[in-house]
Each structure stands twice: as structure tokens, then as C-alpha cells.
Structure 1
């Protein structure tokens, strides 16, 4: 299995496992930042939108509302369980202009210039070759169309992130990660460089410092269960996992907020 296939399998496994907690109220940031990404696009009625790495619809559902019944949204994710969550929410909202599908953003096969807008929120960094991914998204965008790539800024989920990996390292050092993939583009400079290498110039990039409140440290564990951390969690037996959780929360102490810095970008073709 090549590097790309391994990365895809790892991401799909982590987020399929996380699906049971992905939409928990403590993780409301998925949908908050997704909606704000869509607001930055200024979508118009009747436009066609592609949302890749769509999760359970944090940006795809607001996009469908924005383009109206004459518009169309195609929402794609590798994790079929998240896709099913999105489909259920679309039906509940009566949105008939959105198609959720399980798929790979690098192999969708749409012709050049197929979409008025393309959205990728918290996803492009899972691909080992982000430049190739950005080029593929740009190819499918019509002239005058807009590409929105939203990613995490520095220090994501701190101090809980460091506490989590310290707790993991004490029990299962084999599961430790060397780096977080989004760190490659966690600053406006890094994101602009990556987009530039893909031939995408003059993107409007905005970095915002944000915190996400915790009602209690236990909220953090629910966030971990509904996010990419689940990939590591799913590989730990119940007895060991209980120790990891206890250590993680003990290290957090009375923490009442975690860092959720964010970087938005919108480029016009």
C-alpha cells in the first residue's frame, strides 16, 4: 500500500470510528467554522458547489441552504459513517439539492470547470501531497469560481492536545505521532506557499485566534472521541484506555478552554 493509500485508510478509519461522537454538542466547532467558511464564499442562488472532506455536513448543509433549490451541492468524504450522518441531517432539513457520497477528492472524475465554488474545511492536510490536491480542486473550478480552504492554526486544542499525547505515550508509545499534518499549513505564510505551488495566487487569507470553552475537562475527552484522536483511541484496549483517559484529564486539571485558532482562505479563479 502506497503512502497515499495509507493516509486515506488511516483518515477513513479514524473518522468512521469517531462518527458516534462527531456531532456531540461539545464539538460544535465543526459546524461553526464550516458555516463561517461558507459565509466567506458569498454563495448565490443557483450555484453549484463541491464540498470535499465534508464530514457530517458542517459546511455542505449551509452551502445547500445558500444556493437554494435551483443550486446543487455535492458533498464528499472518505468516512462513510459521517456521510450517512450528513444525509440524515439533510433529509431532516428538507434539503433536496445536496448529494452526499463516499469518495476521494483526488479521484472524483468531474470535468474541468464543473463547479462555481469548492470547499475544503479541515481536510486538505490529510493528503500527503497537498499541492496535488489543491491543483485537482482548482481544475474542477470554473473561471471566476471560488475555492475555500480552511485549516487549523497553531497550537490546536492546547493544552489538551499535549496532555492527550503525554497520556498515550505513558501507556502506548508506539501510537505516538511525530507531528500533526495540519502544522504544514497552520500559518497564513505556510498556506499561501502551498496554494502558490499549486498555481493558486492572490488568495485572501485570514487567521483568527479562537478558544473553545469546556464546561469541564471531561468535555475534552468527548471531543477526542469525536475527532481524529479516535484513530489512536480505537487501538487501545478498554483497561489501558481507562488509564489513558484518567491521566489525560488529570494533566488537564481545571482547564476551561482549548485553543482553536483557525486560518481561512478564499481564492478566485
Structure 2
């Protein structure tokens, strides 16, 4: 949802309402874990990159309080609108949502105390280059925080979806899958943060399962990055995929979403 990839922003924007239906069960817990690892303090400044509907920006804004500020940046206009609505409902005047390429987001002064990115870096066109651009927005001594899926997470749901889509079309290997595969263990994420120039990297692992039905599984399929697999298919073909997906996920006995995330934190001296 960033860095020149308007198609990615469009995919998430088109599925914004479906995305938000999973906020309470999935995105908000992941965002809360990200903000907890970032540990924003009262009065600090935070850049929330690839902010989506505000899952990690909202808890950061609560933590920094009126004296702090949070800039939440994404390209998915539909998700930004939801985030703005949620911030208004909570009266979080210190939180602002912006539609912008986060890698070229302008920084004033010495930079942000925290730059955090939950489930976003692997969507960048060039993960190393674009993440390095984010680290340059961290003030000297500030924190860079990244959450990614752990290796094997979401497998039952995702495998059933891919197999269903393959009955209608070929699926080239997605670049984001290759990029995620480079940082989906605690050791590789730690090494990556060091390669970016981070010091004292620390990785926290979280795991939780959330109930999954065929109906909610399809909502997730159309309300996340996997929606792109369906782009260009006719409505009839999409319906056939949904039917096949339902059959496969039921046959496999997938009744929970296997959620496993890694959150890495490092300090940057500038």
C-alpha cells in the first residue's frame, strides 16, 4: 500500500469495507502488538507507514497523547477514510491520515521518534531500498519497528484460496511472497534489521488463532492483498472461485486462521 505501487493501493482500497470487517479479529490485534513493541511514550512523534485503516496508528496516538503526534500514511484511499472515521470517533486529534507514497513522505526536523510498519514492507517494490528510505525518517536514536507474517502463517486459508484461483487462471509468483520469505523468521528478520543499519535488534513473536468460517474466509480473501488474485476475472469466474474455495476450506477442516507474526525493533543513530 505504498511506494509507487498504485495497483496495490487500488486493491486494498477496493476491498476496504471487507478489510475493515476483519479489523477487530485480525488487523487491530496485529496493530496493537506492533505499537506495544514500538513502546511510544507521551509526547513522541510517530510515522505509521502503510497504515491501512489505522490498526497500529490508533494505539500509537493513544500512547503519545495530546503532546505527541502520529502521521499515518498509505496509498489506499478507502482504508484511509475508515482510519479517519475511527480517529474522529475516538477524538484523537493528534492523529492525521495522509494519502502519499510513504517512502517519499517529507520529514521535518531531525525525524520521527518512531517509524513503524505493520505488514507492509514486503509490499514495497524494492523492500531493501524502500525500507532504508523509511529508516532515514527516524531521528538519531529513534526506533524502527516492523511486523511481518511468520513463516507458515495463514497457510491453510491461503493454500485453499490459491488452489481455488488456479482452477480459473495461472498465478505468477508474487514479488511480495519472495520478499516476505527473506524475513519471515526471527533470525532472518534480525539480520535484515542489522543490514539496514539498525542496532540492538529485538524480535518478538506473537501467535493467536481466530475462528474462521467459509463466509468470513472469503471476506478476508476479498479484503486483503489476495484480492489481487481475482483482478480481471469475470463475476462468474469469481463466483466459481468462491465456490471452489469454500469446498476446499471445508474439506480441509480449516476452522481457524493461523495467525503468527514477528515484530522487529531496532534503533537507528542516523
TM-score clears 0.5: yes
Counterpart in 2 of 1:256?
255
Counterpart in 2 of 1:154?
151
Counterpart in 2 of 1:182?
180
> What is the rounded CA distance, in whole Å, between the counterparts of 1:209 and 1:33 in structure 2?
10
2:104 equivalent among 104, 107, 130: 107
**Structure 1 132/176 Cα, relative in aligned 2: closer, same or farther at 3 Å?**
closer
Answer yes or no: is the 8 Å Cα contact 1:45–1:67 preserved in 2.
Answer: yes
Structure 1 residue 26 displacement after superposition: 7.2
1:14 equivalent among 11, 17, 20: 11
Counterpart in 1 of 2:229?
232
> What is the rounded CA distance, in whole Å, between the counterparts of 1:121 and 1:127 in structure 2?
13
Counterpart in 1 of 2:193?
195
Answer yes or no: is the 8 Å Cα contact 1:131–1:197 preserved in 2.
Answer: no
> What is the rounded CA distance, in whole Å, between the counterparts of 1:90 and 1:34 in structure 2?
15
Matched, 1:47 2:67: no
**1:1-269 alignment, distance < 5 Å:** 5=4, 8-25=5-22, 28-111=25-108, 113-173=110-170, 175-178=171-174, 180=177, 181-214=179-212, 216-253=213-250, 254-269=253-268
- TM-score under structure 1 length normalisation: 0.91
Structure 1 residue 158 displacement after superposition: 1.7
Offset from partner CA, 1:41-95 (integer Å, 9 cap, x none): 2211111110000000000011111111111100000111111111111111111
> What is the rounded CA distance, in whole Å, between the counterparts of 1:130 and 1:244 in structure 2?
31
> What is the rounded CA distance, in whole Å, between the counterparts of 2:62 and 2:206 in structure 1?
25
Partner secondary structure for residue 74 of structure 1: strand
Answer yes or no: is the 8 Å Cα contact 1:17–1:234 preserved in 2.
Answer: no
Structure 1 residue 178 displacement after superposition: 4.9
Give unpaired runs (5+ residues) of structure 1: none
Structure 1 residue 242 displacement after superposition: 1.0
Answer yes or no: is the 8 Å Cα contact 1:206–1:265 preserved in 2.
Answer: yes
Offset from partner CA, 1:153-181 (integer Å, 9 cap, x none): 112322111111111111112x4435624
> What is the rounded CA distance, in whole Å, between the counterparts of 2:42 and 2:82 in structure 1?
25
Structure 1 residue 113 displacement after superposition: 2.6
What is the CA RMSD across the aligned residues, in angstroms?
1.8
Structure 1 residue 119 displacement after superposition: 0.8
- TM-score under structure 2 length normalisation: 0.91
